[in-house]
Amino acid sequence: DLKIPFADAVKKFFNENSKESDPRKYMTPGKEAMKEIVKHKIEVCGSANIY
């Protein structure tokens, strides 16, 4: 569930910034995309704000 949004975000980054090669820059959009999916899954499972 996380690989596809990660890959899509990284592909989009490279389409917009084809000369960039710093992993800190191109990995960030992928990590953010995964973070949004995880947040959504936590809410769907009813696990948000239990602690």
Q: Where are the domains of the chain?
A: 3-44
CB-based burial label for 3 (10 Å; 0-12, 13-18, 19+): exposed
Residues in the chain with pLDDT values less than 50: none
The identity of residue 19, as a single letter, is K
Record the pTM.
0.80
pLDDT value for 51: 74
pLDDT value for 50: 80
pLDDT value for 32: 98
pLDDT value for 44: 94
